[in-house]
Structure 1
Amino acid sequence: MDIFIIIFAGFMTGITTVLFGFGGGFVVVPFVYHIMTHQQILSDRAMHIAVATSTAVMIFNAGWASFQSWRAGKLTASLLFPLMWFIAVGAVVGSLLSGGINDEIIRILFILYLMLTLADCLLRKGFVIASERRMLKGFTARMGGIFIGIVAALLGVGGSVMTVPLLRRHGYEMQKCVSAANPLSLPVALCGTAMYGLGGVHFSPGEVWIGFINLKILTLLTASGFMGMLFTRRFIPAVPDELHARIYIALLATVLIAILI
């Protein structure tokens, strides 16, 4: 039964990667957390395992989606830089902090993070209906990027849930926001994977583990995620901008409910 849950989660992750820039975290974390809590020997580290495995999945999903966007000419350098460098700095800090934080605290932070993001999207103007386009200012890019990197690496969510609203509020279409979200998630994925792999060496309960990363689950998620991305590009048509934003909000609400349950 767990294998089917993992394959389903991976397939959905592939779809959300292409449509919303979610490279793994918001789908993978709740599912893997649920599976680990039902294994007594691993339950006290369930959230660490879920976050660690999620960050590793993002390397493959976000990397492939970024390559496809680059090949299609959908990436804009001015949209990615210098924000990417500041996210990378924040990702290093967040990865270093993650090893010393209790598992339940990470879960609570994940829930609060989702609730605040949902409230921001629903209550402030400029997300559902895009505002007039304006460039990211230096201070916003620096402080926003570092903050995104810290939170994303700490919670294993890639940062897309912050980069998409940030760019959306600067007047960019959802498709451009999503295309930028995947490469902007890569620094988080790389730093987080390295940290959880090396920092959890003492934990590894068997041969299919690298630190807190479960290689069996990672392989299943990556393979099924790739199928999900192919399915999306071939069979799901382009979504109108405003509807795209509304579905994004609905997806965040669904993940919040999943992690609460």
Structure 2
Amino acid sequence: MNDIIIILLAGFTTGITTVLFGFGGGFIVVPFVYHIVAAEPGLSQHAMHIAVATSTAVMIFNAGWATIQSGCAGRLNAAVLFPLVWFIAAGAVGGSLLAGLLKDEVVRVLFILYLIITLADCVMRKGFISRPQARRLSGTTVSFGGIFIGVVAALLGVGGSVMTVPLLRRHGYEMRDCVSAANPLSIPVAVCGAVTYTFTGWHAIPATGYSGFISLKILVLLTASGFCGMLFTRRCIPAVPDVLHARVYVALLLAVLLAMAV
């Protein structure tokens, strides 16, 4: 019962972060699912893969719904999304396949290292908290950067927002525009990742209620509570000032890092 409550709260929080920060699942879902699954007999050796795979599946629904809402509100910029989304999708296929070849603990360590690097970049390098002058993404950034984002995001189950938001922020976009773009850019990662984790984890989990590495029970609970969290955010949380938005983004990354490290 306690595990269900924790999952529902995590899902509700994920719904809030999807709308406010473009985090469709990964940074909130992965730590909670990891600790819950790791405590179950026979599943501990697959805990990180299950957490990442389930997080990836949750992102399909969260990022998809948020994208529809942003599109209806006219907040999606096609010049930013394309062709970046195609390169991210290509990288996501490779990242998902690579994750199936790595041991569970290796993925966990990579997740923690990735958080540390991202936090250091946001805090120590100029151009994130204080928005610089707007400039276009170069062809190299779109192509090679997009593939890199797709590989890392699918490998660690974090969507792409943790890289696309800082990337767009450093190119002069407001946080709300970064977040609006982050959700659709996370969809190809989520779809490619979920399909790959389903096939690579087929018959790998010695328990019922799994589609490959994806826990169907946790997926349903997270998706339902996440939808409630998104509705709550849209209706009850006012617009956040740009600089405060960036600072809270960094604080959230730090909180998830501590959760995974402990």
Place the TM-score, normalised by the shorter chain, in its bin. Answer: over 0.9
Residues in 1 aligned to 2:64 and 2:46: alpha-carbon distance in whole angstroms: 27
Q: CA-to-partner distance for each residue in 1:124-148, whole Å, 9 max, x for gaps?
A: 1000010000000000111110000
1:37 Cα deviation (Å)?
Answer: 1.1
**Contact 2:43–2:205 at 8 Å: present in 1 too?**
no
Provide the aligned C-alpha RMSD in A.
0.6
1:158 aligns with 2:155: no
1:115 aligns with 2:84: no
Residues in 1 aligned to 2:208 and 2:259: alpha-carbon distance in whole angstroms: 30
Corresponding residue number in structure 2 for 1:100: 101
1:30 aligns with 2:15: no
1:203 Cα deviation (Å)?
Answer: 1.1
Corresponding residue number in structure 1 for 2:11: 10
Corresponding residue number in structure 1 for 2:202: 201
Corresponding residue number in structure 2 for 1:174: 175
* Amino acid aligned to 2:74: G
* Amino acid aligned to 1:6: I
- SS of the equivalent of 1:129 reads coil
1:114 Cα deviation (Å)?
Answer: 0.2
Corresponding residue number in structure 2 for 1:62: 63
Decide which moves more: 181-190 or 196-205.
196-205
Residues in 2 aligned to 1:61 and 1:112: alpha-carbon distance in whole angstroms: 25
Residues in 2 aligned to 1:132 and 1:143: alpha-carbon distance in whole angstroms: 23
Q: Once superposed, which parts of structure 1, at least 4 consecutive aligned residues long, lie more than 4 Å away?
A: none
**% identity of equivalent residues:** 69
* Amino acid aligned to 2:71: W
* Amino acid aligned to 1:26: F
* Amino acid aligned to 2:106: I
1:141 aligns with 2:116: no
1:204 Cα deviation (Å)?
Answer: 3.3
1:96 Cα deviation (Å)?
Answer: 1.1
Residues in 1 aligned to 2:208 and 2:104: alpha-carbon distance in whole angstroms: 23
* Amino acid aligned to 1:127: F
* Amino acid aligned to 2:225: S
* TM-score normalized with structure 2 length: 0.99
The count of residues paired between Structure 1 and Structure 2 equals 261
1:163 Cα deviation (Å)?
Answer: 0.2
* Amino acid aligned to 2:202: V
**Contact 2:197–2:213 at 8 Å: present in 1 too?**
yes
Q: Gaps (5+ residues) in structure 1?
A: none
Decide which moves more: 200-209 or 148-157.
200-209
Q: CA-to-partner distance for each residue in 1:90-137, whole Å, 9 max, x for gaps?
A: 001101111110000000000000000000000010000100000000
1:224 Cα deviation (Å)?
Answer: 0.1
Residues in 2 aligned to 1:34 and 1:103: alpha-carbon distance in whole angstroms: 13
1:71 Cα deviation (Å)?
Answer: 0.6
* TM-score normalized with structure 1 length: 0.99
Q: Gaps (5+ residues) in structure 2?
A: none
Residues in 2 aligned to 1:61 and 1:87: alpha-carbon distance in whole angstroms: 18
1:77 aligns with 2:78: yes
- SS of the equivalent of 1:118 reads helix
Corresponding residue number in structure 2 for 1:259: 260
1:206 Cα deviation (Å)?
Answer: 3.3
Residues in 2 aligned to 1:57 and 1:122: alpha-carbon distance in whole angstroms: 29
- SS of the equivalent of 2:54 reads helix
Residues in 1 aligned to 2:238 and 2:111: alpha-carbon distance in whole angstroms: 31
Q: CA-to-partner distance for each residue in 1:157-192, whole Å, 9 max, x for gaps?
A: 001000000000000000000000000000100000
1:40 Cα deviation (Å)?
Answer: 2.2
Corresponding residue number in structure 1 for 2:53: 52
1:39 aligns with 2:46: no
Residues in 2 aligned to 1:29 and 1:149: alpha-carbon distance in whole angstroms: 18
Residues in 2 aligned to 1:170 and 1:156: alpha-carbon distance in whole angstroms: 25
* Amino acid aligned to 1:197: T
